Amino acid sequence: MKNIIIRLILTPILFFSIQAKAQFHFGARAGNNLSDMIMEDLRGQSRVDKAINRTFHIGGILEYDITKQSDILCLESGLFLSWKGTKLEYGSFLNTETITPIYLEIPINALYNTDFGPNKFQIYLGPYIGFGIAGKIKYGVNNVSSPIKFGKSGDMKVYDFGLNMGAGIRMDDILMRLQYGYGLTNLDTSGSSTQEMKNRVIGISIGCMFGKE
């Protein structure tokens, strides 16, 4: 009788553990960032030329299959290190500034998979939150640099919030993604309503899901 009771208790626990394990999948992604920043009324300059800051990102992925019998619809999150920023030129290439903040970023995406021949086509959309943890500002042709200070009295705010949208292809366990990150937070710390500093990032990455069929 005791064995029967133990089995009755353990059976549903084991069942739900196996189901949960089947619905969670892990992976990793890394790639290039083509980053820029929306910047208005910067230092009172009448003309500021900007250029793409070529950086990169790397991190881990966690997927949860909402549809238990398949992975058509998933929730995708993870933890990434993402280098962002922009390059600025004030009237002359000799007077330049490269801003490269580094964020610890957590995305939360709704991910849709559909069959695309032998592979799967993916589209996704969702918010992200970023925490500024490091970075540098480089000046002039000699690349004289200083660390970025985050906070109300620093160079930019600590927290960044925005939206990610993207598409990609999954071939077996291999992922290829194209993503656009649209920053919504004004990172400017001056408190002026006429000054803006917002992240804009195009990400191109490759990754791998571990043990996902």
Q: Give the pTM.
A: 0.82
What the block records as the tokens of 196 is 């803006």
Say yes or no to pLDDT of 16 above 50: no
Residue at token pair 């660390």: 147
Q: How confident is the model at residue 207 (pLDDT cuts 50, 70, 90)?
A: very high
pLDDT digits (tens, 9 = 90+) for 49-103: 678 999 999 999 999 888 766 678 999 999 999 999 998 877 655 577 889 999 9
Percent of the chain with pLDDT over 70: 80
Cβ atoms < 10 Å from Cβ of 129: 15
* Per-residue 3-state assignment (H helix, E strand, C coil) for the chain: CHHHHHHHHHHHHHHHHHHHHHHEEEEEEEEEEEEEEEEECHHHCCCCEEECEEEEEEEEEEEEECCCCCCCEEEEEEEEEEECCEEEECCCCCCEEEEEEEEEEEEEEEEEEEEECCEEEEEEEEEEEEEEEEEEEEECCCCEEEECCECCCCCECCEEEEEEEEEEEEECCEEEEEEEEEECCCCCCCCCCCCEEEEEEEEEEEEEEECCC
Say yes or no to pLDDT of 13 above 70: no
Give me the mean pLDDT over the 167-185 stretch: 95
Q: How high is the mean pLDDT of the chain? A: 83
Contact between residue 108 and residue 74 where contact means Cβ atoms under 8 Å apart:
no
- Residue 29: burial class (beta carbons within 10 Å; 0-12, 13-18, 19+): buried
Say yes or no to pLDDT of 192 above 50: yes
Domains within the chain, CATH numbers bracketed: 26-210 (2.40.160.20)
- Residue 58: burial class (beta carbons within 10 Å; 0-12, 13-18, 19+): middle
pLDDT digits (tens, 9 = 90+) for 136-175: 998 876 778 899 999 988 899 999 999 999 999 999 889 9
